[in-house]
Every structure is written in structure tokens, then in C-alpha cells.
Amino acid sequence: MTDLSEAVAVQDTAKIGPPLWLLAELTYRCPLHCVYCYNPVDFAKTEDELTTEQWFKVLREARELGSVQCGFSGGEPMLRDDLEVIVAEAHRLGYYTNLLTSGVGLNEKRIGALKEAGLDHIQLSFQDSTREMNDFLSSTRTFDLKRRAADMIKAHGYPMVMNCTIHRHNIDHIEAILQLASDIDAEYVELANTQYYGWAQVNRDQLLPSREQLERAERITNEWRATHGNKMKLFFVVPDYYEKRPKKCMNGWGNIFLTITPDGKALPCHTARMLPGLEFPDVRTSSIREIWYESEGFNRYRGTGWMKEPCSSCPEKENDYGGCRCQAYMIANDPAAADPVCDKSPLHNRITEVVDRAQIAGNAAQVKPLIYRGPKESLQLDRPF
Amino acid sequence: MAITTATVPKVGRNFRIQWEPAQDAYVLLYPEGMVKLNQSAGEILKRCDGAANVAAIVADLETTFNAQGLEADVLAFIELADQQKWVELT
Ligand code: SF4
Ligand code: SF4
């Protein structure tokens, strides 16, 4: 998701452009239990996964509209036995194919088969730089396995993005994380601060870093950039809680991103299914063309016409489209409100209160036990975030 | 390395150039990203096949578009493309 902003800047904003980016969430099943997982907290309630044929239909119809970047994620997409055939079909249709994986389930046989299928790139996620922390944060023993996966990815000639979600418990290890990325020879490194959706929202106080931690991590990342040349491209994503303006979420609702959930719902972003009062179409019964251009789910928050104050009269509304609808819903309880990250939002204090708490190490909210993502916890919590 | 008319550029190994009818443009695809190329960038890059040198690319473009004096533009673009790793040079 790096440079798409350049790609869309030249588009005519008056008309609806194509869904350039298709994210296929193949399954919610996952062997890991990340405490910041972006999947819906109540994922365990979802019903049947799409079949191979249904995924072919999605790929075909989206490609006809102009989708060209295709990500396969989850959950853990390697858990789908038909991943290789789905990738092969995407490749045949002319997509650039990206696999977003924890590395669990990658072996010589499958990685070779994926190469043959035409897979273009693999993004491998780590939880931290050391075995102890990686395995603690994912509640699994997967660090060594990930290291082996990284070697296999390189041996098969794939470009590799190493992704590490950053938060209070690993942010002080930035240097070691960068060293790990360099050791495994990643072409790109994403140090993506946790975004507070799904499970991360449940564990928010335990995960949000302090300002001091954040500044240190940014400084070290910049120093690394300055001293190590551009062999490895680094992306450091700050948590929007520390900003005064919201992110231009998804580059605009229904602008370039199309997510298909494991059970066939089409969403403008991977967390939108939490929003109340919006029916998102099912790919089994609607075509991608109907979904993208005609459905209420995609049209509701397109552009700026739906906005309320302070956004509707704001001179900056084209910059950020009012921020994130899910964040507005989670924090302001109204999906059409300004994203409370914005300091023009009357509810901005709900963000700064959380940020203020994060400056006091070891406060009561922070020391609550982390809740791990898992089917049992999902059914127990039984709520979207 | 210094770029001259003898330099042979090739689209970088982690990039793919392809024509996209929906965008009416060549795009450069790479891990999780895409750059939409303007017409001249697209026409230059698709000729970066690892066989033609800059002189040959310039000659081909001048014939195809019935134009002259493109050398400086092509050299400048290849330099930019090299910085972005869109091309590898030999
Ligand atoms: S964030 Fe962790 S638990 Fe969630 S899908 Fe990814 S690997 Fe699995
Ligand atoms: S008021 Fe709304 S449109 Fe203006 S900057 Fe804030 S979020 Fe963006």
C-alpha cells in the first residue's frame, strides 16, 4: 500500500475510478494469536468461506473493472489448500500478486508451487526481533519457523517485504528489528504502528506507545536510513493517535480499495463490516460492477457529500475525506462524524485522553492482561471491536 | 554509475511494466504498489528490455513519434528511474 497515492493523484476525481487494489481475505483462520490482529473481534461467528470457483469469479470481475494489485491475506492465507490455484488464476488474469503471510505453512513444496503459479511477492510478518518476544506476542512458537520462511522466500527469488506491527512492547527494539530485516535481506520494511481496530482496540491501552518511545523509534529509523543507503526501503507508519489530522483512510472510501472477506462480503476497507446500518453486498449474489458502482455500502461515504460539521465546511476536506469511518464510529459513535483524531472534532479529547494515559508507564489500564486473538476469545467477547 | 548513450537499461527485477486499459496508461507494478506512468515515461520504460542501449531507445522513439532531440529527456528519465530502482543499468 505504499505508492498508490501517486497513482491516483492523476485521476479525475469527479468520476468513480476503478478498484485498483483488491484485497482477498481468504480465511479468518490463523495459527497465530496476535494481540493487535485487525480481523473483527467476532470473526469466529462468520459462516462459510468462499469456494475456489467463487474466488475465481471475484478475481475475474474485479480485473474486468481494472483491479491490478491483488493481495491475498487472512487470517493466514496458507491455510487455504487452494491458494496455489487461486494465485495461478490471478496471475493468468494479469494481476500483480502479493501474499501476506505469517510464514506458517510455507514449505519448499508450496513455495515452489506458488512461484510456478506466478506469485510476484511475499510479505512476511514478524512480531518482534527476538524469539522470546515474537513468540510471546503471537502466543505461538513461530520465530524460528519465520526465519526459515524468510530464507526460503529469498532462495526462490521473491522480492520480500518484512512487516512488523509496532506497539508499546516492541517499539524499543526497533534497532534489532531493522537488523533482523537486513539479515534476512528484505527489500522493503514496514514498521507499521498498530492501528486501533479489531483486537488492537480491545488491547489499546496496553499497546499504545508513549511519545518518548515513538520519537526514539522514528529517530533510529531515520538514522538507519541515513547510514545504510537505500538497499532496503523503510516505511515507518506513525500511530494516528499522535496526529492532529486524520489519515486519508483507504485513500478515500470506495476510491481504490476493495476488500472481500472470507465469507464473501465486499467492503471498502477491511474493518468496515463493523459499521451499523450499512448492508455490504455479497459477492455470491452481486457482481463486482454492481458492488463497486451501485451499492449503498460503497456509495454512502464516497466523496464529501455525506459529511457533517466540522467536516462539511472544512477547507481541508479533500485532503483526508474526514478520516476513518470506523474510527468515527468506534470513538464518536457515529460513522458520519469527523474522525476524532482530528483536533477540529468536538470529541478529540477522547483520543488525547488515551494518549495522555500512554505517557504514564505502568498505569492500571496498561497492566491489564493482553487478550489474544482466538476463536474462543472471539465467541466470548462477541462484539465487532 | 554514469549514464551515457551506451548504457543498457532494463526494467528492475522487482518491477513489472504493463499496459492497463482501465487506466489508459502503462503502470509499473511492484510489491504492494503501483505507479501510473505518463505517456513518455511509459514509452521509454517499455523499451528498457536489457538489450537496447540508450542511443537505440532514443532512435526508436524518434522514429516512432516522428520527433527529434529526445536524447536529453531520455537520459534524464533513465537517471530518475535508476534512483527509484525502476531500472537496472549495464
Ligand atoms: S494479525 Fe496475527 S492473528 Fe491476525 S491474521 Fe495476522 S498473523 Fe493471524
Ligand atoms: S474537520 Fe473533517 S475534513 Fe476537516 S481536517 Fe478534520 S477530519 Fe478532515
Q: What is the mean pLDDT of chain A?
A: 92
pTM (two decimals): 0.92
Chain B residue with minimum CA distance to A8: B36
- State which H helix or E strand residue A381 sits in: helix A375-381
Report whether residue A140 contacts ligand 1, using a CB cutoff of 6 Å: no
* Phi, psi dihedral angles at A193 (to 5 degrees): -60, 145
Contact A18 B18 (CB under 8 A): no
pLDDT digits (tens, 9 = 90+) for B45-76: 999 999 999 999 999 999 999 999 999 999 99
B22·A18 Cβ contact <8 A: yes
CA-CA-CA-CA torsion sign (A245, B84, A217, A194): positive
Query: CA torsion angle for A350, A354, A360, A361 (degrees, to 10)?
Result: 170
Point out the ligand 2 atom lying closest to the alpha carbon of residue A322.
Answer: 7
Residue A263 CB–ligand 1 contact under 6 Å? no
Q: Count the Cβ atoms, other than its own, within 10 Å of residue A132.
A: 10
Lowest mean pLDDT among A8-17, A105-114, A352-361, B21-30: A8-17
3-state per-residue secondary structure call for A21-65: EEEEECCCCCCCCCCCCCCCCCHHHCCCCCCHHHHHHHHHHHHHH
A185 and chain B: CB distance < 8 Å anywhere? no
Express each pLDDT in A251-294 by its tens digit. 999 999 999 999 999 999 989 999 998 989 999 999 999 999 99
Instruction: Write down the mean pLDDT value for chain B.
Output: 95
How far is it, in rounded angstroms, from Cα A275 to Cα A265? 13
Q: How confident is the model at residue A384 (pLDDT cuts 50, 70, 90)?
A: confident
Nearest chain A residue to B26 by CA distance is: A7
Q: Is residue B53 within 8 Å of A24, Cβ to Cβ?
A: no
Whether residue A191 contacts residue A170, with contact meaning beta carbons closer than 8 Å, is answered with: no
Kindly determine whether residue B31 and residue A18, on different chains, have CB atoms separated by under 8 Å. Answer: no
**Pocket test residue of A244, A309, A316, A334 for ligand 2, highest count of atoms within 8 A of CB:** A316
Listed in sequence order, the residues at least 6 apart from A313 whose beta carbon sits closer than 8 Å to its beta carbon are none
Query: Could you give the percent of chain A with pLDDT greater than 90?
Result: 85
pLDDT for the residue A26: 98
**CA atoms of A73 and A1, how far apart (whole Å):** 13
The whole-angstrom separation of Cα A344 and Cα A245 is: 8
> Which residues does B contribute to its contact with A (CB < 8 Å)?
13-14, 16, 18, 20-23, 27, 29-36, 38, 85
**ipTM at complex level:** 0.91
The predicted-structure confidence for A40-55, as pLDDT tens digits, reads as follows 998 998 879 999 999 9
Q: Are B22 and A66 within 8 A, CB to CB? A: yes
B1 has pLDDT over 90: no
Q: Say how many Å lie between the CA of residue A32 and the centre of ligand 1.
A: 6
| Residue identifier of the C-alpha nearest atom 5 of ligand 1 | A75
Nearest residue in chain B measured CA to CA from A95:
B29
Please check the confidence at residue A7 and state whether its pLDDT lies above 70. Answer: no
Question: What is chain B's percent helix, strand, coil content, to nearest 5?
Answer: 40, 25, 40
Q: What pLDDT is attached to residue A363?
A: 84
